[in-house]
Amino acid sequence: MPSDIAVEADGLVKSFKDTKALKGVSFQVPRGTVLGVLGPNGAGKTTAVRILATLLRPDAGRAIVAGHDVVKHPSEVRKRVGLTGQYASVDEELTGRENLVMIGELLNMRPSIAKGRAAELLDWFDLSEAADKMAKNYSGGMRRRLDLAASLTGHPEIVFLDEPTTGLDPAKREDMWDVVRDIVARGTSVLLTTQYLEEADALADDIVVINHGEVIAHDTAERLKRVVGSQTLRVRPAEPDTGDAVRAILADVATDGAQVDQPRNGEFSVPVRGDAALADVVGRLRAASIEVTELSLMLPSLDEVFFTLTGERNRTAPGASDATEEVDA
């Protein structure tokens, strides 16, 4: 039956041997929107997705996906969802086209329809040229796109994307984001897990932050960023005796009269709001003829989200350059 809620998780609990992967996780995905599930490795993101995609049964709690209970009517759910795992689950020894035709036929499409749908998806995902090459010869980005195409074969109402860009380089990540936006524009509801605040910010209408199997925040990206705080501007003057002048410039652009931190290794840092501060500082430094060896604007990291939300440094949270993979299932 049609409802305004595409996905509803209600108190999901799941344990594996002695680890409690989920300790009562609840959230909703309104129809036609994107929910970003943000969390570090081992937070329980993948476990939640696997329960919603009917691959795992919850120990307790309830989940309604596309109007059907995942435990009571899994095959009704499966008819209406697409799943893209963080490990691209395509058959490497088949070509891209064969993979998609196979999925189509498994979805009961007539062979000619399955072929047509495969061609359509290959075209959409820029894979037409490589369509008849074996998937093992695809690059990481192509494989992700093929995997995503496979999960869209049956025109699902809801798509689960489990860390769709983990391990992709930044340019490929942006491509993937465009594809996700495209899917959403066609009316599909999306549940996306990610380790990157930036990604959730770029794609999600709402963000759920989970850690150690619990939801620790559920908010819009905007508000979450406001909670987390501002960006940090860092400047390292070339000459130590220009330090006071640098400090004065930074104090001027600081958010709401925030203090300039004591220099660490000769580096000053100050919280700022917006990119304009960066240009402002560059201009003033030049006007004052102060040379700097380092100048950078840091976005709030996932680490800072957790620091703000939990008050504890989350040691498992990955840094920006870290592309470790989640192994929580």
Partner 1 sequence: MTTAGATHEVAVIPHGPTDVLRHSWVLAKRSLVKTWRTPEGLIDVTLSPIMFTLLFAYIFGGAISGSVQDYLPLLVTGIIGQNIAFASVGIGIQLNADMEKGIFDRFRSLPISRIAPLFGAVLGDVVRYVLLISIMVGTGYALGFRVGTDIWHFLGGVVLAIIFALSLAWGPMLIGLLARSQRAVQGIVFMTLFPLTFASNAFVPTESMPDWLAAFANANPLSHLVQALRALWNDPALGTVAANDGQWQSPVAWTLLWCAIFVAVFAPLAIRAYNRKA
Q: Which region, judged by CB under 8 A, interacts with partner 1, from 94-102, 172-180, 270-278, 307-315? A: 94-102
Residue 158 to residue 191: CA distance in whole angstroms? 8
Using rule CB under 8 A, residue 120 touches partner 1: yes
Instruction: Please state the closest distance from residue 77 (CB atom) to partner 1, in A.
Output: 9
Structure tokens at 218: 């559920």
Q: Which region, judged by CB under 8 A, interacts with partner 1, from 36-44, 110-118, 233-241, 249-257? A: 110-118
Using rule CB under 8 A, residue 98 touches partner 1: yes
Using rule CB under 8 A, residue 180 touches partner 1: no
Instruction: Please state the closest distance from residue 171 (CB atom) to partner 1, in A.
Output: 25
Using rule CB under 8 A, residue 16 touches partner 1: yes
Using rule CB under 8 A, residue 326 touches partner 1: no
For residues 314, 320, 326, 328, the Cα torsion angle rounded to the nearest 10 degrees is 10
Instruction: Please state the closest distance from residue 34 (CB atom) to partner 1, in A.
Output: 14
Enumerate residues 6+ apart whose C-beta is below 8 A from 214: 23, 24, 25
Site size toward partner 1, by CB under 8 A: 49
The single-letter code of the amino acid at 35 is L
Residue 68 to residue 75: CA distance in whole angstroms? 9
Instruction: Please state the closest distance from residue 144 (CB atom) to partner 1, in A.
Output: 12
Sites for partner 1 among residues 17-76 (CB under 8 A): 50, 53-56, 75
Using rule CB under 8 A, residue 106 touches partner 1: yes
Q: Is the Cβ–Cβ distance between 329 and 50 less than 8 Å?
A: yes
For residues 68, 74, 77, 81, the Cα torsion angle rounded to the nearest 10 degrees is 150
Using rule CB under 8 A, residue 327 touches partner 1: no
Residue 45 to residue 163: CA distance in whole angstroms? 9
Instruction: Please state the closest distance from residue 38 (CB atom) to partner 1, in A.
Output: 22
* From 72, 186, 226, 313, residue interacting with partner 1 (rule: CB under 8 A): 186
Using rule CB under 8 A, residue 133 touches partner 1: no
Using rule CB under 8 A, residue 188 touches partner 1: yes
Using rule CB under 8 A, residue 192 touches partner 1: no
Rg, Å, the chain Cα set:
23
Question: What are the φ and ψ backbone dihedral angles of 222, each rounded to 5 degrees?
Answer: -55, -50
Using rule CB under 8 A, residue 198 touches partner 1: no
Instruction: Please state the closest distance from residue 108 (CB atom) to partner 1, in A.
Output: 4
For partner 1, give the closer residue by CB, 1 or 171: 1
Q: Pick the closest to residue 227 from 282, 170, 309 (CA basis).
A: 309
For residues 248, 249, 252, 255, the Cα torsion angle rounded to the nearest 10 degrees is -110
Residue 47 to residue 49: CA distance in whole angstroms? 5
Residue 270 to residue 258: CA distance in whole angstroms? 7
For partner 1, give the closer residue by CB, 83 or 224: 83
Structure tokens at 159: 């798509």
For partner 1, give the closer residue by CB, 152 or 228: 152
Residue 180 to residue 124: CA distance in whole angstroms? 12
* From 5, 102, 119, 245, residue interacting with partner 1 (rule: CB under 8 A): 102
Q: 281, exposed or middle or buried, with CB in 10 Å at 0-12, 13-18, 19+? A: buried
Indicate the DSSP class of residue 95.
B
Instruction: Please state the closest distance from residue 209 (CB atom) to partner 1, in A.
Output: 24
Q: Which residues bind partner 1 (CB under 8 A)?
A: 2, 16, 50, 53-56, 75, 78-79, 81-83, 85, 87-94, 98, 102-103, 105-110, 113, 117, 120-121, 124, 134, 150-152, 154-157, 183, 186-188, 329
